[in-house]
Structure 1
């Protein structure tokens, strides 16, 4: 069960690991205190509502929430209507209680399955988990036009900080309100769980933009972030118009993203909007050394069309439908493929837009095009950048002295795709 649940620590950490963690903790606390002194996010901090790790026990979780969370959050539709649609009025997974499906062990295919997938398969029925940090108030402060949802892990503080200073900055653009949330699980086995948890609670005290669930933050559990967020969204943020979902190492041109949203609304494509860097006719990777390796016993047919998980846009209307269909879809260890499976159940295909480059502007990392700011100015999403690279590129792209050729992006007649921006090709 080590890929889903936190184990009790046994013995003492090795001295070198302890020293490294202590140093890292002091460095992160120092950065967070500087941010707090500078007033970044202080308006979200509520000392009266703050509680530390003592609020959390293994069997029952007391959730740390944002302002006003001691009372039920304001909602735009009645609780009765939500319940009738299969969505609870509040987060109802409060107790960590999910044992393995022992019957699977008797299956011949399971005995042949690569051992690294055993725990995933044994606990694949475990879907919704208690929340360690919640912000039910995030979408109640007026109408939110766009919700930026970012997948991250506790240790990636620098990436979250860079996102907050760039495309994840909560602001209002041309009257359209943008909010940001980071999705996290809990530290994996072998890490300094207690100290890392305290650090993330302290970070959330400053910024108020973290959702955290009580499952281990591992690669196979990225799909849990998808299904738990879809449920959370239906409860607390269903009035939001659009959702951008992405990683914490991408560059997002916010204004270009808002223009795409405007165009989608004007063309009345909002109901089925799911736009990104589409991957079609893909098959499972059988190379055991690959991060994306899938054994035949787990899946043995071509993938449905799906978008790269580095960044994509979907409408609120489609997110609610995805939640419903996801409940009947067996969990899959690759999160973006899982969403493609859910879309297939809805008989929908993701829409391709050339502005989403989830493999970089060009897959050759040494190419000078990957560092050309005019590409970033004309695109919507570019993957993959380090925190310093993101900050530097954001500064250059938003420098008024930068002059680039004008580009346009429109829906091509009779197609469900968008034309490539004029002026540049790969």
Structure 2
């Protein structure tokens, strides 16, 4: 009898889950259609074409991969010829998913002692680059992008992407400097409504044209794959961009202050090795098994190098290219922030710390009233973490003409 009731519960859960997913899909499609109408209106207002004539020819070249299709352009201009001569491919050169586990690792004693949560990561750690499901090679086609805002996100976080697009991720020009935005995504994790989610993300990208997606599962341990795949993408398609801001989709970024920081660095001629954020020194791997950032001793057993909080940091294009080169010789690490710190250590560099990057919030006490004080946001560059509602409200307040702040205050 007990088994009968269990089967009944399971039988009821499946249709309920399906109905929920259908409802969620309709809701998201409705929101995207509204956004599409807004985007069409903006296209009529803006006389500048969204894409150069060359990029439309790129989109006609489609290469099929094992799980779908993606635009893999074949470029033929002079710049790309130079890249080929420097061993940089002219287009994304990983068309097929082909990554089997390294079975030899299973026989090693340290692997047998390793926490099972890390088994799949270690067995596939050699798998570095993956096919692209959504690509935008035209993003930097004109060579005029000053700052590329690169945002880590997952498919289900549509609301967060919408909030970023309406605030600090809005593509515009600040003091004559063009800012463009890209969101980095993987594929839905196993057990989710993969097919429908993928259709929704393709529809969203059709409206905004600002998503890069790779064919690896979007999990915490795979965040490092977003780092290395993006660095490779940047080297191929966007090497002429001058600066890259990289952050999460739940941060507040004061773009005006970010541009001012870049201007100061250029004026002082310190932009070549620029890598600045909220730097963490003298950190050790967390051994608490309940922590999201837990690392077993079998995987890493020494102090971390200095690294910046991944909530938001700024780097120059030259630094990004150097990181790409050195990253290819390093074993992947399951915490992306620390992995970039390892890359910098390999270059004998220490990331610059800046007090206006607050990747742990304005104060570490979440209940503090300072965490919701607009004048702090007006003077800072990055604040982490905010909900969608908090980001939209704070952006509007900070940019209101009625906001009067006495002076910049350091905490």
TM-score (norm 2): 0.91
| Shift in alpha-carbon separation, 1:424–1:73, aligned structure 2, 3 A | farther
Note the C-alpha offset of 1:89. Answer: 1.2
Note the C-alpha offset of 1:271. Answer: 1.1
Match of 2:170 in 1: 169
Q: d(CA) in 2 for partners of 1:50 and 1:196?
A: 23
Match of 1:26 in 2: 26
Q: d(CA) in 2 for partners of 1:270 and 1:231?
A: 21
Q: d(CA) in 1 for partners of 2:131 and 2:13?
A: 28
Contact 1:61 / 1:95 at 8 angstroms: preserved in 2?
Answer: no
Contact 2:65 / 2:95 at 8 angstroms: preserved in 1?
Answer: no
Match of 1:376 in 2: 377
Correspondences of 1:14-413 after superposition (within 5 Å):
14-39=14-39, 59=66, 61-64=68-71, 72=75, 77-79=79-81, 81-407=82-408
Match of 2:3 in 1: none
Q: d(CA) in 2 for partners of 1:58 and 1:176?
A: 37
Contact 1:151 / 1:183 at 8 angstroms: preserved in 2?
Answer: yes
Q: d(CA) in 2 for partners of 1:369 and 1:297?
A: 41
| Shift in alpha-carbon separation, 1:61–1:84, aligned structure 2, 3 A | farther
Q: d(CA) in 1 for partners of 2:89 and 2:56?
A: 29
Q: RMSD of aligned C-alpha atoms? A: 2.3
Q: d(CA) in 2 for partners of 1:64 and 1:31?
A: 26
> Is 1:424 paired with 2:410?
yes
Q: d(CA) in 2 for partners of 1:192 and 1:398?
A: 39
1:137-186 superposed Cα distances (whole Å, 9 cap, x missing partner)? 00013411000000000000000000000000000111111000000000
Bigger proportion of residues as helix: 2
Note the C-alpha offset of 1:367. Answer: 0.3
Match of 1:7 in 2: none
Match of 2:4 in 1: none
1:300-350 superposed Cα distances (whole Å, 9 cap, x missing partner)? 000000000000000000000000000001000000000000000000000
| Shift in alpha-carbon separation, 1:296–1:150, aligned structure 2, 3 A | same
Q: d(CA) in 2 for partners of 1:167 and 1:74?
A: 33
Note the C-alpha offset of 1:289. Answer: 0.3
Contact 2:153 / 2:249 at 8 angstroms: preserved in 1?
Answer: yes
Q: d(CA) in 2 for partners of 1:152 and 1:283?
A: 27
Note the C-alpha offset of 1:382. Answer: 0.2
1:153 aligns to what SS in structure 2?
Answer: coil
TM-score (norm 1): 0.88
- After superposing the two structures, state which structure 1 stretch, 111-120 or 142-151, moved more: 142-151
2:272 aligns to what SS in structure 1?
Answer: helix
| Shift in alpha-carbon separation, 1:137–1:13, aligned structure 2, 3 A | farther
2:301 aligns to what SS in structure 1?
Answer: coil
